Structure formats: C-alpha cells, structure tokens
C-alpha cells in the first residue's frame, strides 16, 4: 500500500468518525446500537427491570448482551439482553423500533429459546426458572391504549392461571405519563442526559456521549458496523451502517432532510429506507 493510499484511508476514517459523532448525539436508548452499550452497565438493566417489574429490591446478578441463541434446527435469534436476578428469575429485555419485531409469536419463540438454553443435561424440568420476555416497543403494538401488558397462560375452563413460570410483558414507550414507568419511557426516548429523570441512565448516556472515552468507544462501535457490512458482502459497509443509523433517527422523529445531512446520503435514499421500515409496520 502506498503512502498516498494510507493518507487517503486515514482521512476517510477521520471523516466517518466526525459523522458518527453527529449521529451519536441524536441516538436514544431505543436505538439498537446505543441501547446495547447503555445496558452493558448492569445498573441500567437493573433499574429498567425494577420499574417494569415494580420490584425496588430486584437485583441483577448477571447478564449477557446480544447473544445468539439457536434451536436444534439451527434457527437462531440474537437476544438484546438476557439477565438473571438474585432469586433466579430470568429476563429477556428487547427494545423494538418496528412493530413486526415485537409480534406475539416472536415473544413466544424468545421464551422457548431461553428455556432451551437454561437446563443442563440431567436437570429436572421443574428446575426451569420463572422467565419474562419483555418487549419495550416504539408503538402500542397490542392496541389497547395501555402503558403495559402482562401476558400469562390460563386454564380456560377454570379461569385460573396456568403456572408454568412463563411470562411475556409488552411495554408501550409512547406512554410518558407522570408515573415511574412513564418517566422511564421518557428517558428511553430522550437523547440528552441532562433532560432525563433517572440518574443512573443519565450518567451512562452522558458517559457515552460527552466523555472522550465514551465517544471514542461509540465511534468504534459504529465503525465495527461499517466493517461488518463489508464482511457480509454489502456493496458498502458504510451504507449498511448509515441505513441502521437512518432508521433509528427516523424512529426518533428526525426528518429525512436532517438525516441526509448527517449521514451524507441523498434525501431520496434516506426516504426509501424510511419507507421500507414503514412498510413492515
């Protein structure tokens, strides 16, 4: 590689990083790439679960971010966050920008994947922990205009719960009333740390957006998305990265013209990406 090529590559990388910094300031915890970095701080996951489960004493003892779970046929799903609390309950927290990604059957599949990856050889089925699949959705997916939905199995004839320990919860992030749950939803959709209610989430957002170490880390994450695009055969790895950023920003209410200026993509291309997303809703 010639010296000129090295200089050109360095300049292109520097330009990409500058664009990443602009995009970073508009991301919220509802944006996939930002969410998974916020939740790497266990206290953030713990606080979100405390509010949703209405258990102030809930303590997360371990968690895995973005793990690929497979079934016996090889059909996999990457679960955003799988956590376990101090009494053994297991949680899968999913933040979904698209309604399609939060379908009831997907929630059922996630629950099954957690169960299949919990017991070791020889363990009794009764050792399965109580589990919760939690979808925090951009819209009111179930359509009853409620802030939160708890889904359990029932014995229809007896009108009693079927206590297999499997639970699904949908949380409507459009609800931002003056309850603790509503304030949490506000914080998940807020891009500025100083405007957030909760100190734990605000400190993490500030760390990732305002400190040199955090900004460098997020830029590296976005650059990895760019490189992953190249590896999987995208015409341009950067195009894949820009598309994910554009869809996230559009979901937060940014106009196509603003996204185009940030990502250096034509307004027409950005609008096409947005329309593709809307066609799935």
**Phi, psi for 86 (deg, rounded to 5):** -70, -15
Show me where the domains of the chain are located.
3-28+212-279, 32-189
Q: How far is Cα of residue 48 from the mean position of the Cα atoms in its chain?
A: 12
Strands (E) across 71-216 are located at: 76-85, 90-96, 131-137, 148-151, 154-155, 160-161, 166-172
**Distance of alpha carbon 65 from alpha carbon 16, whole angstroms:** 26
pTM over 0.75: yes
Residue 62, strand partner residues: 84
DSSP-H helix ranges across the chain: 3-24, 32-38, 42-53, 104-116, 180-188, 199-210, 212-231, 237-251, 256-263, 267-279
Q: What is the pLDDT along the chain (281 residues), one digit of tens a residue?
A: 565 444 555 677 688 788 888 889 988 999 888 999 999 999 999 999 999 999 999 999 999 998 888 777 777 788 999 999 999 999 999 998 766 678 899 999 999 999 989 988 889 999 999 999 999 998 999 999 999 999 999 999 999 999 999 999 999 999 999 999 999 999 999 999 999 999 999 999 999 999 999 999 999 888 877 666 544 434 444 565 677 777 777 776 778 887 777 667 788 888 887 776 654 44
């Amino acid at each position: 590689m010639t010296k000129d090529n090295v200089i050109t590559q360095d300049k292109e990388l520097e330009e990409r990083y500058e664009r990443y910094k602009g995009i970073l300031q508009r991301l919220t915890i509802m944006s996939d790439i930002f969410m998974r970095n916020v939740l790497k701080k266990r206290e953030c996951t713990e606080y979100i679960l405390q509010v949703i489960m209405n258990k102030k004493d809930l303590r997360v003892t371990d968690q895995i971010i973005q793990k690929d779970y497979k079934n016996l046929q090889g059909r996999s799903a990457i679960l955003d966050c799988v956590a376990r609390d101090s009494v053994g309950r297991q949680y899968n927290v999913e933040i979904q920008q698209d309604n399609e990604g939060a379908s009831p059957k997907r929630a059922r599949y996630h629950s099954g994947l957690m169960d299949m990856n919990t017991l070791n050889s020889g363990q009794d089925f009764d050792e399965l922990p109580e589990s919760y699949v939690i979808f925090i959705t951009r819209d009111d997916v179930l359509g009853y205009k409620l802030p939160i939905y708890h889904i359990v199995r029932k014995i229809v004839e007896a009108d009693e719960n079927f206590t297999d320990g499997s639970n699904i919860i949908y949380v409507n992030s459009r609800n931002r009333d003056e309850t603790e749950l509503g304030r949490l939803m506000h914080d998940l959709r807020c891009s500025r740390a100083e405007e957030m209610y909760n100190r734990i989430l605000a400190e993490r957002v500030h760390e990732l957006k305002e400190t040199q170490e955090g900004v460098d880390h997020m830029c590296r994450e976005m650059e990895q998305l760019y490189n992953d695009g190249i590896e999987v055969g995208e015409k341009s790895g950067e195009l894949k990265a820009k598309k994910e950023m554009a869809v996230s920003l559009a979901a937060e209410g940014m106009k196509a013209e603003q996204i185009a200026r940030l990502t250096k993509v034509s307004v027409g291309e950005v609008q096409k990406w947005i329309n593709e997303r809307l066609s799935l809703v």
